[in-house]
Structures are given as C-alpha cells and as structure tokens.
C-alpha cells in the first residue's frame, strides 16, 4: 500500500513539475518565438495602415485570403474575380480583390493562385447590416447595426473608422463571399463537372469540387502581439482578457476560454476542500460521503450559474439576441436537384427517410459495435490487472509494484488511441449520413463522439466502483487515467503542433534570409501570407470542449473517492489556458469568428453529465461503509433511502433549473426594452398608416347611419 501511495505522489509531483515546466517554457519560449515570429509584426502593422512597402502588396488592406488550386484555369479565375468585384445589383459582392505577388524566392513549387480580398469601409458597414451585427448604441444597450442609424452607435466617430473590429470585417467578407450565388451559369467556367444552378453558393461549389483550397482570414501581427502579451506572456493572477480575445477571434472562441476560466474557478472550492481531505483522511475510505454530497450540489449549481454568465457575455458581445441567418446546405451535402420547400430555391434535396435509415441501420449499430469492442478491451485490461496483481502477490518487490501500474497506463494509452481512431470513423459516418445543415452534422458528430468517449473513459471506473466495489482500486485507476490522459492530451494538443509549426516557421525565415537581407527582421507580406496559408487549420472548439467534458466527468463522478482529482484538473486547466492560447496565437491559422450566443450542444452534454453524476454519487454514498453502519440491520432500507434521497435531489435539481433564470434580470430588462421599443415603433407606423387609410372613409363615406348598417359591423 505504501508503494501505491508513493507512486501516486510521484505521479502528482511529476505532473505538477511538468505543468510548471510547461508554463515557464511558454513564458520564455513564447517570448523567444515571438521574436522570430514578430518578424512579420511590423509589416502587419503597416499592412493595416495600407502602406504597402512591398512592391507585391495590394492597394488596399487585405483581410481574407482565397487560395485556388495552382492549376486552376484562367477563365475560372477571371470569372470568380469578376463575381467578387461586381456591383451588388449585378449579383456580385462588390469587394476588392487582388492577386498576391510572387514571394521573394519565387519557386516553381509556390502556388500563384492566392488572392487577397478586402473591401471599402462603406461596403463593410453595409455588410455589417446584412449579417445583422449587434453593436453598443449610445444609450448603452446592444442594437442591430443599421446604416441609417449609424451615428446612434457608440464608437462610431467620423466615418466609422475603427468601429468594426478586424475579426468582424473578416466575418462580413466571408459572409459576402459565401452568399455569392450563381445566376444563369450551369457550371463553373472551365470545369464542366462542377455543376451550378440558380441560387447555388459559388464558393461552396468551388470548395466541394476542390477548385478552391481554402479561405482564411489574415492575422494582424500588431494586435496579436498585444493580445498574446496580455493573455499568456506575463505571469499574473489576473483573468484572461476575454474582451480582447473576442475582439480578435470572435465570440465562439471567447466563450470557450470564458467557459474554461469559469470551470477552473468553479473547481477551486472543490480543490480547496479536497486537499485537506486527501491529506488527513487518506486511509479512511468511509468518509467520502460529505464529499459526495458536496459534489452533487456543486455540479448542479455551477452549470446553472454558467448559463447566466454565458448570457451576460453574449449580451455584452451582441450575440445574445442576434438573429441567425437562414442556414445554407453544407458544402459536402449532395442530393437530387429539387426545390427547397422553405426558400423555394433550387437546391439538392435528400430524403430524410434515407438519412434516418443510414443513422439507425448503419451508424447506430456501428457505435454499438465500437462500444462492445471497447468493453472487450476493458475486460482484457482487468485480466492484465489480475495477472499483475498475482505476480506482485507471489513476489512483492519494487519492480512488481511498478508492474501493478503498467496495465492502467497501457489501458489509458489504448483508450486515447481508440478515441482518436473512433473520431475519424465518426466523422466519416456523419459525413456519409449527408446532413443538410452544418449544425445538424455537428450535433450528430458530437453525440457519436461523446457516447463513445464517455464509455471508453468511464466504463472501467464504473465497473470497478459498482461491480468489483473496490474503492482502493477505483482511486488508483482514476489517478492513473486522469494523469496519463492529461499528459497525452497536452502533448498531442500543443507540443506536437508547436514543434511542427516551429520547424516550418524556421524554414521560411531561412528561405527568405537566403535571398535577401532582412533589415528589421520582418517577413514581407507575400511571405507572411504564404506562411499563414501553410499553417494548420484550427478545427473549432470541438476537441477542447470534449477534453473539458471528460475532465468534468472525472471530477463530478468520482472525485469523492479521489479528492485530489479537482486539484489535478485545476492545474491542468491552468496549463490548458496557456497551451490553448499559445496554440491559437502561433500554431494555427486565424479562424473566422463565429457569432455564438452560448456553448451550444455542450451545455446539454455537461448537464447530462451532471445528472449522471447525481446518480453515481448517490450510488457511491450507498456503497460507503459509513452509511452502511447506519443501516446495519437491513440492506433493503439502505437502498430504499438512498434511492429516495436521489429522487428528491433530482427533483430539486429540476426545480432549481426552473427557479434560476437563465438570463440575469438586468439583461432581461434590456432585451424587453428593445422588444417593447420595436413594438411601439411598429404600432406608431401602423397608426400613421391606418389613420391615413381610415380618415377619408370615416369622414366621408361612413357618416350616414344607413350605410354603416349595411356593412353590418
């Protein structure tokens, strides 16, 4: 037993060292690479001012890059550029676009078909109205921006200079490009096989036919430098600069970091509660009832409070009451051409019944099969565990003691590998299910991945807790799983991409240096764009949320038997903030901002987990020797009381969900005021209109009583 305790401590210490190493590494290395990286910084700053020092620079501020395949036909390129440049009433996007000049060392390998897209300031403002952007008005409330009332908005000085953030401008340009629609073209010029029909989004067709490689927004070096400094490059006890993150990356990202921060703070009381528990009651397995009760209440309350937090943030950022635009089909969606019953436009239709069949006859059995496989792997793990134990019992040396932990570590690695493979399979299957909307695709993917990951990560713990009923083994497994998966995650998520990117980065700098002497260590625009085009694409917050979801599971389900779990998760989250921030700033292409109003389907997932946590914790309480002594005469009574208490708490949980309003009072009032004002305005308009329509009649025609009667009312 002593060996076990020692090992856990060693593990923890290792992890903490690792954590601090990581943090410090980031601080120092972050600065270092910002040096090599800020090569492009001033160039970016100049870019923003539109002073193109480089001969290859465009005559406007580039915001978004469009990359076509290198062998794209001339006629296609010309057609696309015309579409982008055309006036809006001719069906164009009325944007500015220029080809990126060749780099310093223009090689044959370089793709010449990179285009920089920008827009005039006026065009961006009218685009802001199109996408329904919410901005703070002079009276402090958030309102949908309109060109007509532009001077009623805060920060709209002069001609609106600096009113829209760069991320917003880029989002607007993406929206305008996305809604470029075919008129009477039957196919993309130059590509007979790329069919078009009136109303089809051109960009989506080009993407799905792989004529268009990617569209991505450019980084703003100056701002990125400032952001990364305030975010992770100083050792500080302050909060994350959420507003700046939102300003640079958009609401979806900022909400993720907001949630990560909130979750970390929410864990602090549990961690504080857990440490003395861990230190003083270590061998007293009975005493976890108090901790389980604490867990129960904790996980119910924090999720409710997060909803309010999230609503506050979303209101401040103007996404809470922003109306969603009508969703276009996904680029990969295919089907027989028909008429959409909602829009009346021609678009591919795919019968829902076919999709349902694919889901229930293929995807569901596949998921079940995977779960079964995962179950088999778990059983093998228990066999290995048993074998290791028997070896240790026969010959209890230090090495056989270490051997005890080998199965757990192997199992943790296998789990991570299975999760990874399954993830690809799930993506393939969900793609094959052919969902029309991106949101529906995402929901199905999340569901598939969640179920499997949940089972994979927690099945063994449930098995140990409720079938084997061995709390010592449970504690040991939990610690191993938690620590191994955290180390693996940090490695896979941040370090691996970081090293890869660093190598690429260095290569580019070397290449530039070879050709020309850099005076101020800056990359010219063309190189900068090419460098960013080569960076990995950020695939959204999916994996980040999934990781938090699993951590939340470890903490809420089983932390009562291993009170240090909360501490480990807090440490992990702190490094997670740093590694995620670093990854966002230096490893990935800048993502387009995503005007999210909440964390979406993940709120539901976390709530489902908290329900499972209530059940699990009550079951653990029922199993605890402490409780069992109270009901020493009758096991039946013990179970009945536990079940009754569980039902009571579950009812209380649901009542609490109703009682705590999801949106804080002061925001509710502001929203109601907006709605009231629009209703009043409508009424006034109607009365003016109605009065006009009513007056001539009521004065002239309706005066005689006989006529009035003839109209019955």
- Residues near a copy of itself, by CB under 8 A: 48-51, 59-61, 63, 88-89, 94, 118-124, 126, 129-130, 146-148, 159, 161-162, 164, 169, 323, 325-326, 341-344, 615, 635-636, 639-640, 643, 647, 669, 672-673, 675-676, 679, 683, 686-687, 689-691, 693-694, 697-698, 702, 705, 708-709, 711-713
Q: Select 191 or 631, whichever has its Cβ closest to a copy of itself.
A: 631
Residue 238, classed as helix, strand or coil, is: coil
Q: Select 383 or 669, whichever has its Cβ closest to a copy of itself.
A: 669
The rounded distance, in Å, linking the Cα atoms of 100 and 106 is: 12
CA distances from 310 to 442, 544, 547, 705 (A): 21, 17, 19, 61
Minimum CB separation of residue 519 from a copy of itself in Å reads: 23
Q: Select 234 or 697, whichever has its Cβ closest to a copy of itself.
A: 697
Q: Select 111 or 443, whichever has its Cβ closest to a copy of itself.
A: 443
Q: Select 133 or 479, whichever has its Cβ closest to a copy of itself.
A: 133
Minimum CB separation of residue 286 from a copy of itself in Å reads: 20
Q: Select 191 or 641, whichever has its Cβ closest to a copy of itself.
A: 641
Minimum CB separation of residue 661 from a copy of itself in Å reads: 12
The rounded distance, in Å, linking the Cα atoms of 446 and 455 is: 14
Q: Select 155 or 675, whichever has its Cβ closest to a copy of itself.
A: 675
Minimum CB separation of residue 61 from a copy of itself in Å reads: 5
Minimum CB separation of residue 148 from a copy of itself in Å reads: 7
CA distances from 455 to 87, 373, 478, 548 (A): 54, 11, 14, 16
- Report CA Rg, the chain: 30
Q: Select 632 or 636, whichever has its Cβ closest to a copy of itself.
A: 636
CB neighbours of residue 161 within 10 Å: 10
Q: Select 168 or 580, whichever has its Cβ closest to a copy of itself.
A: 168
- 114-124 residues labelled b (16+ CB within 10 A) or e (exposed): bbbbbbeeebb
Treating both helix axes as pointing N-terminal to C-terminal, what angle do 221-231 and 564-582 enclose, rounded to 10 degrees?
A: 160
Minimum CB separation of residue 713 from a copy of itself in Å reads: 5
Please tell me the chain's helix, strand, coil percentages from 3-state DSSP, rounded to the nearest 5. Answer: 65, 5, 25
Residue 68 dihedral angles phi and psi, to the nearest 5°: -95, 165
| Region of 566 on the Ramachandran plot (φ > 0 left; ψ -120 to 50 alpha; else beta) | alpha
Minimum CB separation of residue 100 from a copy of itself in Å reads: 18
58 CA to centre of own chain? 33
Q: Select 145 or 411, whichever has its Cβ closest to a copy of itself.
A: 145
DSSP line for 645-696: HHHHHHHHHHHHHHHS-SS-HHHHHHHHHHHHHHHHHHHHHHHHHHHHHHHH
The angle formed by the CA atoms of residues 53, 54 and 60, to the nearest 5 degrees, is 75
Minimum CB separation of residue 115 from a copy of itself in Å reads: 17
Minimum CB separation of residue 508 from a copy of itself in Å reads: 27
With contact defined as beta carbons under 8 Å apart, do 64 and 173 qualify?
Answer: yes
Q: Select 94 or 223, whichever has its Cβ closest to a copy of itself.
A: 94
Minimum CB separation of residue 251 from a copy of itself in Å reads: 21
Minimum CB separation of residue 640 from a copy of itself in Å reads: 7
Residue 162 dihedral angles phi and psi, to the nearest 5°: 80, 5
The rounded distance, in Å, linking the Cα atoms of 278 and 479 is: 13
Q: Select 194 or 299, whichever has its Cβ closest to a copy of itself.
A: 299
Residue closest to 181 by CA, chosen among 348, 63, 328: 328
The angle formed by the CA atoms of residues 231, 232 and 238, to the nearest 5 degrees, is 65
Minimum CB separation of residue 443 from a copy of itself in Å reads: 10
End-to-end Cα spacing for the chain: 92
The rounded distance, in Å, linking the Cα atoms of 585 and 311 is: 26
């Amino acid at each position: 037993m002593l060996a076990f305790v020692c090992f856990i401590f060693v593990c923890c210490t290792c992890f903490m060292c690792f954590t601090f190493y990581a943090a410090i590494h980031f601080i120092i290395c972050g600065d270092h690479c910002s040096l090599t990286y800020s090569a492009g910084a001033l160039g970016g700053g100049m870019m923003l001012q539109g002073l193109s020092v480089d001969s290859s620079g465009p005559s406007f501020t580039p915001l978004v890059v469009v990359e076509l395949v290198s062998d794209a036909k001339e006629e296609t390129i010309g057609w696309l550029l015309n579409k982008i440049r055309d006036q809006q009433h001719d069906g164009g996007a009325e944007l500015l676009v220029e080809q990126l000049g060749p780099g310093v060392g223009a090689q044959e390998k370089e793709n010449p078909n990179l285009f920089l897209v920008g827009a005039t300031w006026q065009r961006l403002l009218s685009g802001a109205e199109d996408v329904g952007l919410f901005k703070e008005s002079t009276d402090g409330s958030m309102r949908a921006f309109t060109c007509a009332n532009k001077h009623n908005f805060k920060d709209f000085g002069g001609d609106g200079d600096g009113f829209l953030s760069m991320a917003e401008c880029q989002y607007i340009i993406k929206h305008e490009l996305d809604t470029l629609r075919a008129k009477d073209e039957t196919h993309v010029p130059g590509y007979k096989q790329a069919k078009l029909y009136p109303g089809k989004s051109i960009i989506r067709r080009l993407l799905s036919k792989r004529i268009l490689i990617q569209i991505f927004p450019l980084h703003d070096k100056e701002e990125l430098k400032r952001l990364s400094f305030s975010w992770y490059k100083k050792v500080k006890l302050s909060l994350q600069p959420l507003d700046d993150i939102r300003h640079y990356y958009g609401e979806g990202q900022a909400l993720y970091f907001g949630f990560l921060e909130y979750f970390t703070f929410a864990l602090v009381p549990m961690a504080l509660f857990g440490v003395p528990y861990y230190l003083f009651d270590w061998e007293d397995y009975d005493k976890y009832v108090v901790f389980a009760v604490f867990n129960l209440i904790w996980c119910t309350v924090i999720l409710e409070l997060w909803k309010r937090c999230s609503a506050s943030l979303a209101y401040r950022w103007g996404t809470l009451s922003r109306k969603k635009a009508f969703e276009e089909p996904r680029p990969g969606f295919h089907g027989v051409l028909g008429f959409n019953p909602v829009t009346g436009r021609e678009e591919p239709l795919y019968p829902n019944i076919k999709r349902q069949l694919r889901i229930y006859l293929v995807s569901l059995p596949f998921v079940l099969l995977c779960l079964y496989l995962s179950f088999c792997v778990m059983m093998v793990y228990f066999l290995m565990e048993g074998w290791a134990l028997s070896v240790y019992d026969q010959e209890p040396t230090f090495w056989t003691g270490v051997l005890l932990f080998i199965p757990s570590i192997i199992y943790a690695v296998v789990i991570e590998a299975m999760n990874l493979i399954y993830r690809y399979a799930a993506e393939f299957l969900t793609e094959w299910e052919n969902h029309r909307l991106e949101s529906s695709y995402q929901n199905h993917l999340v569901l598939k991945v969640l179920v499997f990951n949940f089972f994979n990560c927690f099945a063994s713990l449930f098995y140990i807790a409720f079938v084997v009923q061995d709390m010592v083994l449970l504690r040991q497994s939990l610690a191993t799983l938690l620590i191994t998966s955290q180390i693996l995650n940090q490695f896979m998520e941040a370090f691996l991409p970081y090293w890869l990117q660093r190598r690429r980065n260095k290569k580019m700098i070397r290449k530039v240096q070879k050709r020309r002497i850099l005076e101020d260590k800056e990359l010219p625009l063309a190189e900068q764009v090419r460098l960013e085009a080569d960076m990995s694409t950020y695939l959204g917050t999916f994996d980040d949320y999934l990781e938090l979801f699993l951590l939340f599971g470890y903490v809420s389900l089983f932390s009562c038997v291993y009170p240090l779990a909360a501490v480990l998760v807090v440490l992990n989250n702190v490094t997670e903030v740093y590694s995620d921030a670093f990854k966002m700033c230096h490893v990935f292409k800048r993502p387009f901002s995503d005007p999210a109003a909440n964390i979406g389907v993940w709120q539901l997932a976390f709530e489902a987990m908290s329900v499972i946590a209530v059940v699990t914790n009550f079951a653990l309480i029922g199993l605890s020797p402490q409780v069992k002594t109270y009901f020493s005469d009758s096991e039946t009574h013990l179970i009945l009381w536990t079940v009754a208490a569980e039902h009571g708490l579950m009812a209380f949980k649901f009542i609490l969900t109703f009682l705590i309003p999801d949106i804080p009072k002061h925001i509710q009032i502001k929203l109601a005021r907006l709605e009231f004002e629009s209703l009043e305005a409508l009424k006034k308009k109607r009365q003016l209109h109605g009065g006009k329509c009513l007056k001539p009649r009521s004065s002239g025609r309706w005066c005689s009583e006989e006529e009035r009667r003839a109209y019955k009312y």
